[in-house]
Amino acid sequence: MTTPLALKVNGNAVSVQVEPRTLLVQLLRETLRLTGTHVGCDTGQCGACTVHLDGRAVKSCTMLAVQAAGCEITTIEGVAAPSGDLHPMQAAFKEHHGLQCGFCTPGMVMNAIDLARSKADLSEAEVRGGLDGNLCRCTGYQNIVKAVLAGAAAMRS
Amino acid sequence: MSESLLGQSVRRKEDYRFLTGSGTYTDDVTVPGQLYAFFLRSPHAHARIRAIDTAAAKAAPGVVAVYVGTDLQGKVNGLPCGWLITGIDGQPMKEPVHPPLAQGKVRHVGDQVAMIVAESLNQAKDASELIEVDYEVLPACVDPAQARAPGAPLVHDDVPDNTCYVWGLGDKAATDAAFAQAAHVTTLEYINNRLIPNAIEPRAAVAQYHRGDDSYTLHVTSQNPHVERLLMTAFVLGLPEHKVRVIAPDVGGGFGSKIFLYAEETVLTWAAGQIKRPIKWTAERSESFLADAHGRDHVTKAELALDKHGKFLALRVHTTAGLGAYLSTFASSVPTILYATLLAGQYTTPNIYCEVTSVFTHTAPVDAYRGAGRPEATYVVERIVETAAREMKIDPAEIRRRNFITQFPYQTPVALCYDIGNYEGTLSEAMRVADVPGFEVRRKEAEARGKLRGLGYSAYIEACGLAPSNIAGALGARAGLYEAGEVRVHPTGKVTVFTGSHSHGQGHETTFAQVVAQRLGMSVEDIDVVHGDTGRIAFGMGTYGSRSIAVGGAAIVRALDKVVAKGKKIAAHLLEAAEGDIEFENGEFTVAGTDKKVPFAQVALTAYVPHNYPLDKLEPGLNEMAFYDPTNFTFPAGCHICEVEIDRATGETRIVNFTAVDDFGKIINPMIVEGQVHGGLTQGIGQALLEACVYDKESGQLITGSMMDYALPRADDVPNFKVSTQETPCTHNPLGVKGCGEAGAIGAPAAVINAITAALWPLGVRDIPMPATPQTVWRALQTAPKARSGRA
């Protein structure tokens, strides 16, 4: 049994048939082949699947695809400029070595962009707290925090 | 070249693809006609399988095949172990069969019972619920300390006392004699807590069979695809090695857990050949918890004998190590060769004896996890040294100084020969950065706020750059431990490097490119580094044991030597000079003492368009490879200082300062090295404060089976680390490098626990178990002998 679903992904209109139990992340990865969004856990803890839904960071493994009907989704593939130039937050992650294996990175960047938009002049403690829903096993977070602070500043300028 | 590229924090070449979602991890690989596999796993820690009924599952929609253990009998062998340990009784270790799908019995929760293959993952999962397994549940033993107790349930009927081996290293008699002369003996008994690695990318595999040439391609989350292929083809599946291509594409962290040959990808590859269609399997996180190889799991009693001046006379260690239910690929070597050999630490302790009893338990296999044996050894040495200092009322830094090794090379009593180090250098610099002299003021200020504050040291050493093949072989390794590197110069002078090392976060694509760019006088943009594909790379032993730059990097340097040597012959011909007069620097071949020169790119072009070329003496082309086998281990070492504050009311420990001064020899990319240290420290702090793998002692169920139950460090659990390096170049490899990937995880646990016990010592608390959770510390505070009197 499938159900029709229409939404926007990275600016493109998408119209598909999905099983009702399909998770948003499954729609993105398997149906739309947007594999930049990752799955690291089954319990909403790791945040590797974070995307933007109508501009806010959400974990795409903890919502059904049909719940995104009519919404606008942005994934990591939709963040850089069409020219390929990195978004300021992406550039900050590169400059400050805020990634190693890269697996948590898309979720980190998506959450960081939302965090930066949510409040001007984030403190380091606010960034650390704001990243609570995103696990990284490689970096020890220090350079991610540095990158988010720098990326947020760059987004404001 | 005006400025050396070595030592520069070049931004990473690999970052763009990871930042834009353009990486290719195994689960991103989708092949036309692909099927999906799901593994039905044992819900019991120990049970006899009376019967399995798969009929309903086989008839379910979309199901293509269902396999159980009996289907594999005679076709798929058990998974091999790569390291033979010989016990003190002279007998080889016990190697019970490790079937990829359970045969007759299940031996841990999560043991693979059946593989269901279907057109969709949901169909495979749905069908798994239709399989009826008739289990006769049996008693289980999950605690290594209980595995040899009388009447303990046996994991394998043919392994008495659940004992794989009892192994020893060092001079027992001399050690015992030294204890008899001691002025002071410090004793510690503790558990080195079992950990679950939890790379954020779960394990995954995509197996394809190619009918046209009867070959296979396996994409898999591996740190060492050539080793994976060798073990799978030669030992388990009996397939011709050259007919199997193993690709480890982008891999989302390993930390040891992706070194090993696992059951899942083995059965998947075999089944792809049976069904003749591609099959994908991706672990769910709960499967990672249940079936990835875990780490640590030691129960240890350690004793340190000292003279009245605090000089170490002898160290005696007895460890029981849990191996889990089956021998994983390198499991046997971790609590022995990679552990006891490090018990000298940075000290001149003349007599050391270590005895290790490794036991099977009804738990997931235990194998190498970041540091692998060396964190356990450091924990022994650095906890007991600090405790001895406190007992003897000697400053912890001073007792270390009295015992430091200062003359190199230094032969330890536990087999290793340290080539070089400067332990006083890293200790004193760490003390300066951590402002040790100002600690007492900070402690008093904290006390006024009702907080306990403590400062602890960990002066660790590790043996990395694994390993000289002949020494490893003599110690039981069933493989060589060299590395391969190939430098392919293209006709235009651009370069592709092929390395047997594998990068799963370490940044080899950048670091290795810096090494090549520096030597050939090129830009890193003109060099690509290829790794992780048996179809493109000649051979490789992969990445673990902080070996990539020390062994893999050295192989590339040796290949570069050959490129330059051949280039000189070509240049000599072009410049009509004697080969001996040709020099190569900054990307140009020159005739010494003249202004005659030819650029590297022109030599490369000449090699591929050999019109004016000494074809009678020299082959065309410029493509060189080298195998590098190290002559010794490398010995990264350093000093970590941790400062904590403990809330007396809640028992919560906060790390307020953490300093790491490490000696990794020469540094190629400081930014990447610092990142490696940050990550290692965080895993070490995780072990010390947060992480514990807990199995229920009665049922054998994994209590900490999800990220909601197993506490991984989060961004607000760790401080900003103060990280710096000192440099004594390794004496025996061409780059002078030692490796940096594991140091943080090796040094940090002892530093954290030493800091906590320093804070609690005045209350009469001399030890605290890992992880030192708020509850653990709070309990210790409630029961502390001097709790009521406050600070003594």
- The pLDDT tens digits of the residues spanning B234-261 come to 999 999 999 999 999 999 999 999 999 9
Average model confidence (pLDDT) across chain B: 97
Distance in angstroms (rounded) separating the CA atoms of residues B664 and A119: 41
Angle of CA points A81, A82, A83, to nearest 5°? 85
Nearest Cα residue to A50 out of A98, A102, A104, A2? A104
- Looking at residue B553, the DSSP 8-state letter turns out to be I
Residue type, B139: P
For the stretch B332-373, pLDDT in tens is 999 999 999 999 999 999 999 999 999 999 999 999 999 999
Same domain, B624 and B636: no
Same domain, B321 and B432: yes
Q: Is residue B161 part of a domain?
A: no
Same domain, B117 and B220: yes
Same domain, B595 and B640: no
- According to the model, what pLDDT value does residue A42 have? 86
- Enumerate the β-bridge partners of residue B307: none
Q: Do A138 and B675 touch (CB under 8 A)?
A: yes
The strand pair at B184-192 and B312-322 is best described as unpaired
The strand pair at B312-322 and B298-306 is best described as antiparallel
CB B455 within 8 A of CB B637: no
Q: Is residue B505 part of a domain?
A: yes
Residue B185 clears pLDDT 70, i.e. is over it = yes
Same domain, B420 and B493: no
Same domain, B250 and B334: no
What value does the CA radius of gyration of chain B take, rounded to a whole number of Å? 28
Q: Is residue B175 part of a domain?
A: no
Residue of A nearest to B199 (CA): A137
Residue B547 clears pLDDT 80, i.e. is over it = yes
Mean pLDDT score, B146-161: 97
Residue B787 clears pLDDT 90, i.e. is over it = no
Q: B718 lies in which domain range? A: 298-466+632-783
Residue B197 clears pLDDT 70, i.e. is over it = yes
Q: Is residue B184 part of a domain?
A: no
For the stretch B625-650, pLDDT in tens is 999 999 999 999 999 999 999 999 99
- According to the model, what pLDDT value does residue B788 have? 60
Distance in angstroms (rounded) separating the CA atoms of residues A114 and B269: 42
Is B721's Cβ below 8 Å from some Cβ in A? yes
Q: Is residue B153 part of a domain?
A: no
- According to the model, what pLDDT value does residue B786 have? 85
In percent, the amount of chain B with pLDDT more than 70 equals 99
CB B421 within 8 A of CB B408: yes
CATH number at residue B567: 3.30.365.10
Nearest Cα residue to B635 out of B361, B400, B210, B345? B345
- According to the model, what pLDDT value does residue A96 have? 98
Distance in angstroms (rounded) separating the CA atoms of residues B127 and B115: 10
Those residues whose C-beta lies under 8 Å from the C-beta of residue B242, and which sit 6 or more positions away, are none
Q: Is residue B287 part of a domain?
A: no
Q: Is residue B672 part of a domain?
A: yes
- According to the model, what pLDDT value does residue B1 have? 44
Q: Do A46 and B200 touch (CB under 8 A)?
A: yes
Same domain, B238 and B330: no
Q: Do A139 and B678 touch (CB under 8 A)?
A: yes
Q: Give the confidence band of B161 by pLDDT, cuts at 50, 70, 90.
A: very high
Residue of B nearest to A139 (CA): B679
Q: Do B678 and A80 touch (CB under 8 A)?
A: no
User: Cβ contacts (< 8 Å) between A106 and chain B: which residues?
Assistant: 21
> From the list B505, B681, B712, which residue is nearest A100 (CB)?
B505
Distance in angstroms (rounded) separating the CA atoms of residues B326 and B328: 6
Residue B790 clears pLDDT 70, i.e. is over it = no
Those residues whose C-beta lies under 8 Å from the C-beta of residue B302, and which sit 6 or more positions away, are B187, B188, B189, B315, B316, B317, B318, B380, B383, B384
Domains of chain A, first to last: 3-78 (3.10.20.30), 88-156 (1.10.150.120)
Q: Do B19 and A128 touch (CB under 8 A)?
A: no
CB B94 within 8 A of CB B32: no
Distance from CA of A109 to the nearest CA of B (A): 8
Residue B791 clears pLDDT 70, i.e. is over it = no
Distance in angstroms (rounded) separating the CA atoms of residues B472 and B416: 12
Is B675's Cβ below 8 Å from some Cβ in A? yes
Distance from CA of B706 to the nearest CA of A (A): 8
Report the first-to-last Cα separation within chain A, whole angstroms.
49
Cα B266 to Cα B75, B171, B236, B362, B367: the distances in Å are 12, 42, 8, 22, 18
CB B686 within 8 A of CB B296: no
Same domain, B617 and B644: no
Distance in angstroms (rounded) separating the CA atoms of residues B36 and B24: 19
Number of structural domains chain B divides into: 3
Residue B504 clears pLDDT 80, i.e. is over it = yes
Interface test with B, best of A1, A37, A41 (most B CBs within 10 A): A41
User: Cβ contacts (< 8 Å) between B660 and chain A: which residues?
Assistant: none
Residue B792 clears pLDDT 70, i.e. is over it = no
Helix, strand, or coil (residue B217): strand
DSSP string, B735-757: T-B---SSHHHHHHHHHHHHHHH
Question: How many CB pairs below 8 Å do chains A and B form together?
Answer: 181
Interface test with B, best of A18, A94, A103 (most B CBs within 10 A): A103
Cα B316 to Cα B239, B303, B304, B396: the distances in Å are 47, 5, 7, 20
Q: Give the confidence band of B305 by pLDDT, cuts at 50, 70, 90.
A: very high
Those residues whose C-beta lies under 8 Å from the C-beta of residue B118, and which sit 6 or more positions away, are B35, B36, B38, B60, B62, B63, B64, B124, B127
Same domain, B302 and B247: no
CATH number at residue B68: 3.90.1170.50
User: Cβ contacts (< 8 Å) between B202 and chain A: which residues?
Assistant: 39-40
Same domain, B278 and B397: no
For the stretch A2-58, pLDDT in tens is 999 999 999 999 999 999 999 999 999 999 999 999 999 989 999 999 999 999 999
What value does the CA radius of gyration of chain A take, rounded to a whole number of Å? 15
Same domain, B713 and B773: yes
ipTM metric: 0.98
Out of B575, B604, B628, pick the residue that ends a domain.
B628
Q: Do B683 and A137 touch (CB under 8 A)?
A: yes
Out of B581, B605, B628, pick the residue that ends a domain.
B628
Distance from CA of B239 to the nearest CA of A (A): 32
For the stretch B447-481, pLDDT in tens is 999 999 999 999 999 999 999 999 999 999 999 99
Distance in angstroms (rounded) separating the CA atoms of residues B204 and A33: 17
> From the list A35, A106, A141, which residue is nearest B715 (CB)?
A141
Q: Do A41 and B285 touch (CB under 8 A)?
A: yes
- Looking at residue B524, the DSSP 8-state letter turns out to be G
Q: Pseudo-torsion of CA B539, B543, B545, B551, nearest 10°?
A: 50
Q: Do A102 and B505 touch (CB under 8 A)?
A: yes
Distance from CA of B674 to the nearest CA of A (A): 9
The strand pair at A3-9 and A72-74 is best described as parallel
Number of other CB atoms surrounding residue A1 within 10 Å: 6
Cα A91 to Cα A10, A152, A157, B12, B267: the distances in Å are 19, 11, 14, 12, 42
Q: Which of residues 30-59 of B touch A (CB under 8 A)?
A: 30
Nearest Cα residue to B72 out of B363, B269, B217, B211? B269
Query: Hey, what are B301's tokens?
Result: 């009693």
Cis status of the peptide bond prior to B409, with omega within 30 of 0: yes
Helix (H) or strand (E) holding B264: helix B263-275
User: Cβ contacts (< 8 Å) between A43 and chain B: which residues?
Assistant: 285, 706-708
Out of B598, B628, B658, pick the residue that ends a domain.
B628
Same domain, B442 and B317: yes
Q: Is residue B415 part of a domain?
A: yes
For the stretch A95-142, pLDDT in tens is 999 999 999 999 999 999 999 999 999 999 999 999 999 999 999 999
- According to the model, what pLDDT value does residue B644 have? 98
